[in-house]
A and B are shown apart, each in its own frame.
Chain A
Amino acid sequence: MPKLIVHDRCNMKLTELHARIQRGGYREPRLHPLQMRVQCGRIVDDYAHGKFRVGMNLIGYRPQRWSNRMRRGRNFQKILGVTALALGMAFSVPVAATHQSRAVGNFDARDGRAIEEIVRDYLLNHPEVILESVEKLRIRQQKAAEQKRRETADAVKAVDAADHVRGNPSAPVKVVEYSDFECPFCKRFHPTMKRIMDEYGKDGRVAWIYRHYPLDSIHAKARKEAQAAECAGELGGNDAFWAFTDEIYRVTRSNDRLDLTLLPRIANQIGLDRTKFESCLAGDMRGGKYARHIEADRQNAVASGGSGTPFTVIIAPNGKSFPLSGAQPYAAVKSLIELALKEK
């Protein structure tokens, strides 16, 4: 839609101006409002050059030249240019935008239109300002991302003796996975991580840390299964924990469809004492003797930014972390691990 550049008062003044010219004496009209100075000044100039005729439709009309009067007023324009710069920056800084809009609010609608026109001219004459503001925005966003990364990295609990680690515990890259045994996407993600460990775990470059993140509201059995995995770890050590975890993910049909009576059978299958396992597993569905440990894992997942499962945080040797949500494909996890390995 064509922009209404010149308002009615200017049109009226031009008619008056034309009448004066016809009478033989041209005197520049005294125009105080800002938009008169800018717009009418230009139109007067255009009129003098025969590019504007009185009575023409001003909708969509764009003045072509600067009038002498406007050239003299360059200093004034420079002051307004600073305002333009501030307005330009306001696009990238919401807070600044708020203050600026308050300042603009002190002008009336006509002044506002004139300022808009000046801003436009300024930006056209100094396009580098836009690039400068974009660059500033980029730096600011980079700092914000870095801050967020630091917060995530700080939130992820350091690997300790209570954790279950697959691979070299002092590997340069650590993949901390927060998972739910009854989540279908965790089941899907488990083979992906095993494949990652086949490629990066054997030479000690990556360690996989498994933590519990049971989503109780949709998977009522997940916490009990987490307890069962902890019991397997207690009875058979780290290897038993991982063997039990692999087996649960293999047999479960997800979404609470695993028969919990299978848990002792799985424990027995991986070589654990069934009676001891059942004794360890005794208790309510809240995790029994491992309730506190499981809840601590869950809370740490939430604090680290996890809003669903699987939630994985890849931690680089220099402490940089890459939080990954969902069952992402092997290629995505691999590319992030490659990035992490380069961060030394």
Chain B
Amino acid sequence: MDMSVDKLTDEVTRITLTGSLDIKGAAAVEVPFTTVAGANKRIVVDFTAVDFVASIGLRLLVGAARTVARRGGKLVLCGVTPPVARILTVAGMDGLLPSFPRVDDAVAALGA
């Protein structure tokens, strides 16, 4: 799994993930992902190129979203593919990790 980070606006940071967020992928991005989450308050995680997510990946996402929320911020997803969306729904995470079709919608939802 690959990860890149860029600024969408002065206040919104995008984390782009590519690959599978499985046990191997989660281990590969855990440290940088958690670091970015700890240093920013408004985060869009771009899932356009994520083909699979397992519970260990959801653990990483929820942990980061919780960290951000406790500092008064918000983490949202964009570009989630239908197979990954089904996993989020069955896991009961769709209400905790808001998801938007396009990155512009996600930025708007963050109020930035």
A and B interact physically? no
